[in-house]
Amino acid sequence: MSANDLKMINVMIDGQPVSIPENTTILDAAKMLSINIPTLCHHEDLCVAGNCRVCMVEVKGSRTLQASCATPVAENMEIYTNSRLVRTARKHVIELLLSEHRGDCLRCYRNGTCELQALANEYRIDQGVFLDLHKADQVDISSPAIQKDDSKCIRCQRCVRACTELQAVSALCVAHKGADMKITTFWDKALAYVVCTNCGQCVTHCPTGALTERNYVEDVWDAIYDPSKHVVVQTAPAIRVSIGEEVGMEPGQRVTHKLVTALRRLGFDSVLDTDFTADLTIIEEGHELIHRLTKALRDKEDVSLPMITSCSPGWIKYVEHEFSDHLDHLSTCKSPQQMFGPLAKTYYAEKIGVDPKDMIVVSIMPCTAKKFEAVRPEMMASGLRDVDYVLTTRELGLMLRQAGINFQNLEDGEYDSILGKSTGAGAIFGATGGVMEAALRTAYEVVTGKEIPFDNLRVTPVRGLEGVKEASLKIEGTLNKYNFLEGAELRVAIGHGLANARKIMKQLESGESPYHFIEIMACPGGCIGGGGQPIPTTNEIRMKRTTAIYDEDEKMQLRKSHENPEIKTIYEDFLEKPLGHKSHELLHTTYVKREKN
Amino acid sequence: MMQGSENIVRKAVKTYGRSRENLLPILQMVRREHNYLSEDQLRDIAKEMDLSSADVYGVASFYSFMDMQPKGKNIIRICKTITCFMKGKDSIVGAIEETLGIKMGDTTPDRKFSLLEANCIGWCHKGPAMLINDKVYTELTAEKAVQALEEYM
Amino acid sequence: MVMTREEKLARINAHQDRVNLIFEQINYLDLMAKVMKLDNETMMQYIKESGLKGRGGAGFPTYLKWNLAAKQNSDMKYVICNADEGEPGTFKDRKILEEQSNKVFTGMAICAKIIGASEGYIYLRGEYNYLVPLLTTKMNDFNQDMKNLGLDFSLYLRSGSGAYICGEETALIESMEGKRGEARNKPPYPVVEGYLGKPTVINNVETLVYCAMIVLNEGGKFKTFGTEISAGSKVFSVSGDADVEGIYELELGMTIQEFVDLFGDGDTKAVQVGGASGFCVPRKNFKETIIGFEGVPTGGSMMLFNSTRSMYHILMNYLEFMEEESCGQCTPCRVGCQQLVKGIQAIKHKKRPATYLDELVKLAKSMRVASKCGLGQSVANPFISIVENFREEIIY
């Protein structure tokens, strides 16, 4: 339907006549006229709520003010966005919210980025007119990943909508009514005791400091200051295209080499790269897939297909709760973060002559669920806790600001060896479809000896923000060893956001899954849209970060995981072979059945 | 796990059907078993209807009659609207509290009675009024209120 | 000037006998047979010319509602009877359902035939659970009657569970869909997108009976009662300091003075018209205030208070009710109600100066225009009318 087919409506906004397409909300119509009506409960990722009442406007002929986010334009509507009535009511709404909110701005994690604070600032609210209503609730720190402080909640329900619509987890809900109405969990249990997957989408959609990640910045500073500790830092693929936003840069800037320098300046002893273990994951997982396909197609044995990726810990906890009968479909590979930890405390520690007990491994992640992953009981393959602390992109931003680092002016730096070299395949892990693409680039070549037939290695069918993507790859000209795959059509699916994961799993549960290999990322957009990423995260910003990730890939010399020389070395020196004894000890894991609901 | 909780839940879902719009009648039927809804029952309902427990909890907690703390076999709800107050609701409450030996909001130790307040129950011209379970008692005096209880002792 | 109780009753009964639409015994089967033969335009014309407006309190023109629903193209449509009578002081729908349920069903069936609905629901508040056995029997009989007449329309019963807000039409629909009774954004209106997303007419119990009677009488005497803006008669539920309490059908358009003369105990200082969400009319305004849509409208609740009553206590009772029953989703209502309750208490207990009352009045005015639904929008009604007319009682 072209723009010409859309019916145009004539309205008047603040005295200006304008033509707006039918079904446009007053909020969007005002934007077209360069008028920004303030909002709080509105978020472009989520369905319309219309409950905060901040975005109210006056509509001539209407007895009440209308929520501009929820009201479509109508013919001859006369709208006033800033009349006296609107300003008075809006100021009251903000004052009411402040009276319900424990205003602790100076000490709050969202000081400077809080949307309520910004509104209060705009309306110059400097004194509490109304009575203080906030309840001195206990802060929920039961989860190692997410912190919930009800005393700061303004009940906009963005977290509930994110948890329900985007993620289909529904761990958060609105309960009770009247003055008792609150955002809570099943039976008001602490987050650690419900089906929360720690994905952090609630955190990135929360306008205030009510939901934040558990903060470990002070612990990391302590480790850095401790002269007896050798502190290793690993950086996830998504960080290099996002950390810039935390230090005043536009979204989608590739700042990999400045990132490395900054980390050295902060005082980390070894600056290494999760992209390395991303490449490693591809080798292990690629061979695991081929192993399963061999069993199924050549040996005609019973084996769990489709195989599903396992690097997203939010996804892992989700499937452990909701589809616990199908854990055998998960790849047994650990995530790159968790492959890194044991290798750092065994292989790397030995190489650089550091006692593993004196090594602290810190990871910088776009993710909140990784904080939970790091403390899973089985993540102690090195004999010690494999990953000691996980910091989000936001927490790293905090450290950079605290250290007074003028990030944009830094010179370029290079990662350390030997867990520091990576290929473009490792970098694209940050985007939805990236793990799949990286795996295909390697698996295809392992099976056929030839490069995957896509121009410039752009496996476009698996790229983009569509919720569930499908692709099929015909395998032709296999090596003798793999002749049972000759002519086979490898069918793959990619899902991002747990609501899409649910769709894929429901199909699998019913026995109708047509795929061999599935990539699932818990967060919309993949890791670049993760729960630990700079706020805000919108589709526009997701796209910018995604474009940067694929740019990073194309600008790299090596683009396939199996070409990584440090990967070749680690197998020669240490691991022996993919899926070998050492790999199983350090790089593979098991899963746990959890309660549904 | 409450004795037989799965059975009443299954029965309710079978009676009304699994789709979302049947949640209220299902909650009402399950609640009637023991006069309140337990954590396990809500979880079972969620499982049967393919909803999240949090979602079901959010719905149940909204409605004043869907008590989720253990209640007595007989729930007394006394109207607290101004017109019932004008007719002497406080003395009714006092009489019942004294007779049962509990305070407003509590349940008797033998689990026979719970005493609660309710908003207007629709008998304003014959106040003070109260419900015991679904049965209505109007034009109450302290004596009549205590007498009404005896039916259930 | 002052009548005895007997005189008052005689007057009231005479008035009722003259009006007598709601509680008149009719043969509903004969009426339905007639309805099956009448064409829809004719019946709509009767409703339109009658000037009937909703009797639940909101007062929306019934003809407009039915017409909009009839115009929608949809495979399914619904008729819902709003029997969630929860406004404090309202107890007339209970009697109508108890004594005239067949007329209620008939009103629903007429609507169903006109708009093309095949399912009808009665949403009955949980506090009226004792009516369920009676209504279920009558509904089953009615469903059979409709089958016999060849009308594809079946009635079902849904119970509430203690939530005043579910009397608001979109909150009622949410409740019927198995969710929290939270009001929806409008537009879309229920007649376009209602229960399960389909065109839905929701009418009050009393409104449906009037529809049946208007069709029965082909217009008839309904239009001869009331005023231009408030056509017809209405059922009132009278309580408080009254010589005569109870449920009475009277013409709309009376002044409060006339009402008080009939029902009051001789010392009426204030009348609360429309319950906790309605207006408090002080004695000095009795003569010029009309009971109707041009003055103070009501869903039926009429509470009379004499000079021994504390307006502070009355106001607090209404405010605490609103604070408790608010669904809680929108800021002005959820937080505003709490501020009004605590604010009035603070002034009374000298924690805030008397001038704080002016801030609260401003807040109430904002709540009136900013709240998402009628509950929050109407808190200003009792608040401002009591605070402005009885200021000393609130402060001291």
Rounded to whole angstroms, how far apart are CA atoms A272 and A361? Answer: 10
Inspect the interface and report whether the beta carbons of A170 and B62 lie closer than 8 Å. Answer: no
Predicted confidence (pLDDT) at residue B2 exceeds the cutoff of 70: no
pLDDT in tens, A175-189: 999 999 999 999 999
Nearest CA of chain B to the CA of A273: how many Å?
Answer: 38
Q: Is the minimum CB–CB distance between A324 and chain B shorter than 8 Å? A: no
Domain boundary among C224, C252, C270: C224
Inspect the interface and report whether the beta carbons of A67 and C185 lie closer than 8 Å. Answer: yes
For residues A233 and A385, is the Cβ–Cβ distance under 8 A?
no
Predicted confidence (pLDDT) at residue B3 exceeds the cutoff of 60: no
Chain A: residue nearest B62 by CA?
A: A176
Inspect the interface and report whether the beta carbons of B52 and A175 lie closer than 8 Å. Answer: no
Nearest CA of chain B to the CA of C35: how many Å?
Answer: 32
pLDDT in tens, A81-90: 999 999 999 9
* Residue A147, both tokens: 């912190």
Predicted confidence (pLDDT) at residue A1 exceeds the cutoff of 60: no
Q: Is C245 found in the same domain as C200?
A: no
pLDDT at A418: 85
Inspect the interface and report whether the beta carbons of A195 and B52 lie closer than 8 Å. Answer: yes
Expressed as residue numbers, the domain containing C264 is 233-395
Inspect the interface and report whether the beta carbons of C91 and B122 lie closer than 8 Å. Answer: yes
Within 8 A of B45 by CB-CB distance, chain A residues are none
Percent of chain C at pLDDT exceeding 70? 100
**Which CATH superfamily hosts domain B74-150?**
Glutaredoxin (3.40.30.10)
Mean pLDDT of C106-123: 98
Residue contacts between A and C (CB atoms, under 8 Å): 118
Predicted confidence (pLDDT) at residue C385 exceeds the cutoff of 70: yes
Q: Is the minimum CB–CB distance between C33 and chain A shorter than 8 Å? A: no
Give the DSSP H/E element, type plus range, for residue A85. Answer: helix A84-100
CATH topology (fold) of A3-94: Ubiquitin-like (UB roll) (3.10.20)
Q: Is C204 found in the same domain as C57?
A: yes
Could you tell me the pLDDT band of residue B5, with boundaries at 50, 70 and 90? Answer: low
Q: Hey, how many other C-beta atoms are within 10 angstroms of the C-beta on A28?
A: 17
pLDDT at A136: 78
Rounded to whole angstroms, how far apart are CA atoms A233 and A235? Answer: 7
The residues, ordered by sequence, that sit 6+ positions from A194 with a Cβ below 8 Å of its Cβ are A171, A185, A186, B53, B54
pLDDT in tens, C144-201: 999 999 999 999 999 999 999 999 999 999 999 999 999 999 999 999 999 999 999 9
- The mean pLDDT of chain C is 97
Domain boundary among C192, C224, C256: C224
* Residue A258, both tokens: 């400045």
pLDDT in tens, A460-482: 999 999 999 999 999 999 999 99
Inspect the interface and report whether the beta carbons of B58 and A173 lie closer than 8 Å. Answer: yes
pLDDT at A134: 87
Q: Chain B neighbours among A 181-200 (CB < 8 Å)?
A: 184-187, 194-195
Inspect the interface and report whether the beta carbons of C339 and A52 lie closer than 8 Å. Answer: no
Q: Is C178 found in the same domain as C136?
A: yes
CATH number, span A101-129+137-213: 3.30.70.20
Rounded to whole angstroms, how far apart are CA atoms A9 and C33? Answer: 47
Inspect the interface and report whether the beta carbons of C339 and A99 lie closer than 8 Å. Answer: yes
pLDDT in tens, C74-93: 999 999 999 999 999 999 99
A575: left (phi over 0), alpha (psi -120 to 50) or beta: alpha
Cα–Cα distances (Å) from B88 to B83, B122, B139, C89, C243, in that order, read 9, 16, 10, 16, 17
Out of B21, B65, B66, closest to residue C196 by CB: B21
Q: Chain A neighbours among B 25-54 (CB < 8 Å)?
A: 39, 42-43, 46-47, 51-54
For residues A281 and A311, is the Cβ–Cβ distance under 8 A?
yes
So where are chain A's domains?
A: 3-94, 101-129+137-213, 227-276+337-409, 284-333+423-586
pLDDT in tens, C26-59: 999 999 999 999 999 999 999 999 999 999 999 9
Percent of chain A at pLDDT exceeding 90? 96
Q: Is C239 found in the same domain as C289?
A: yes
Q: Is C64 found in the same domain as C31?
A: yes
Nearest CA of chain B to the CA of C187: how many Å?
Answer: 22
Inspect the interface and report whether the beta carbons of B136 and C160 lie closer than 8 Å. Answer: no
Cα–Cα distances (Å) from C68 to A591, C72, C189, C214, in that order, read 57, 7, 10, 20
* Residue A561, both tokens: 């995981």
Inspect the interface and report whether the beta carbons of B20 and C178 lie closer than 8 Å. Answer: yes
B14: left (phi over 0), alpha (psi -120 to 50) or beta: alpha
- What's the distance, Cα to Cα, between the start and end of chain A in Å? 42
Predicted confidence (pLDDT) at residue C3 exceeds the cutoff of 90: no
pLDDT in tens, B31-50: 999 999 999 999 999 999 99
For residues C166 and C158, is the Cβ–Cβ distance under 8 A?
no
Q: Hey, how many other C-beta atoms are within 10 angstroms of the C-beta on C2?
A: 8
If you write DSSP's letter for every residue of C134-154 in order, what string do you get?
HHHHHHHHHHHHHHHHT---E
Within 8 A of A67 by CB-CB distance, chain C residues are 185, 372
Rounded to whole angstroms, how far apart are CA atoms C360 and C347? Answer: 11
Q: Is C186 found in the same domain as C48?
A: yes
Q: Is C238 found in the same domain as C220?
A: no
Predicted confidence (pLDDT) at residue C330 exceeds the cutoff of 80: yes
Rounded to whole angstroms, how far apart are CA atoms C172 and C169? Answer: 5
Query: Any idea which architecture A227-276+337-409 has in CATH?
Result: 3-Layer(aba) Sandwich (3.40)
Percent of chain C at pLDDT exceeding 90? 99
Within 8 A of C353 by CB-CB distance, chain A residues are none
Within 8 A of C179 by CB-CB distance, chain B residues are 20, 23, 59
Closest among C228, C271, C272, C235 to C250, alpha carbons compared: C235
pLDDT in tens, A294-306: 999 999 999 999 9
* Residues across chain C: 396
Interface test with A, best of B50, B52, B62 (most A CBs within 10 A): B52
pLDDT in tens, A326-382: 999 999 999 999 999 999 999 999 999 999 999 999 999 999 999 999 999 999 999
Q: Is C264 found in the same domain as C152?
A: no
Inspect the interface and report whether the beta carbons of A133 and C339 lie closer than 8 Å. Answer: yes
Q: Is C242 found in the same domain as C198?
A: no
Torsion of CA A188, A192, A194, A198, to 10 degrees: 120
Strands (E), A195-353: 211-213, 230-235, 270-273, 307-308
The single residue of A58, A373, A395, A552 carrying the catalytic annotation is A373
Q: Residue C2 domain-assigned?
A: no
Rounded to 10 deg, the angle between the C28-37 and C92-115 helix axes is: 20
Out of C130, C175, C309, closest to residue B135 by CB: C130
Cα–Cα distances (Å) from C118 to C103, C115, C157, C195, C235, in that order, read 18, 9, 14, 13, 29
Within 8 A of B57 by CB-CB distance, chain A residues are 173, 175, 186-187
Nearest CA of chain C to the CA of B41: how many Å?
Answer: 17
pLDDT at A6: 80
Interface test with B, best of A164, A167, A173 (most B CBs within 10 A): A173
Domain(s) labelled CATH 3.40.30.10 in chain B stretch across 74-150
If you write DSSP's letter for every residue of A413-455 in order, what string do you get?
--PPSSS----HHHHGGGSTTHHHHHHHHHHHHHHHSS--SSG
Q: Is C158 found in the same domain as C81?
A: yes
Nearest CA of chain C to the CA of B63: how many Å?
Answer: 5
Inspect the interface and report whether the beta carbons of A177 and C362 lie closer than 8 Å. Answer: no
Cα–Cα distances (Å) from C287 to B9, C270, C291, C304, C309, in that order, read 58, 12, 11, 15, 21
Helix (H, G, I), strand (E, B) or coil at B11: helix
Q: Residue C302 domain-assigned?
A: yes
Could you tell me the pLDDT band of residue A202, with boundaries at 50, 70 and 90? Answer: very high
Nearest CA of chain C to the CA of B149: how many Å?
Answer: 18
Rounded to whole angstroms, how far apart are CA atoms C70 and C68? Answer: 5
Predicted confidence (pLDDT) at residue A67 exceeds the cutoff of 60: yes
Inspect the interface and report whether the beta carbons of C370 and A89 lie closer than 8 Å. Answer: yes
Q: Residue C1 domain-assigned?
A: no
The single residue of A370, A371, A421, A469 carrying the catalytic annotation is A370
ipTM: 0.95
Rounded to whole angstroms, how far apart are CA atoms C169 and B36? Answer: 28
Q: Is C218 found in the same domain as C311?
A: no
Q: What is the pTM of this model?
A: 0.95
The single residue of A100, A115, A285, A395 carrying the catalytic annotation is A285
pLDDT in tens, C243-293: 999 999 999 999 999 999 999 999 999 999 999 999 999 999 999 999 999
Out of A49, A64, A131, closest to residue C339 by CB: A131
Q: Residue C4 domain-assigned?
A: no
- The mean pLDDT of chain A is 96
Q: Is the minimum CB–CB distance between C331 and chain A shorter than 8 Å? A: yes
Q: Is C269 found in the same domain as C200?
A: no
Interface test with B, best of C119, C124, C127, C272 (most B CBs within 10 A): C127
For residues A490 and A470, is the Cβ–Cβ distance under 8 A?
no
Closest among C318, C252, C291 to C50, alpha carbons compared: C252
CATH number, span A284-333+423-586: 3.40.950.10
**Partners of C248 in beta bridges:** C236
Task: Residue C257: give its domain's CATH number.
Answer: 1.20.1440.230
pLDDT at A358: 98
Could you tell me the pLDDT band of residue B1, with boundaries at 50, 70 and 90? Answer: very low
Amino acid at B86: M
Predicted confidence (pLDDT) at residue C61 exceeds the cutoff of 80: yes
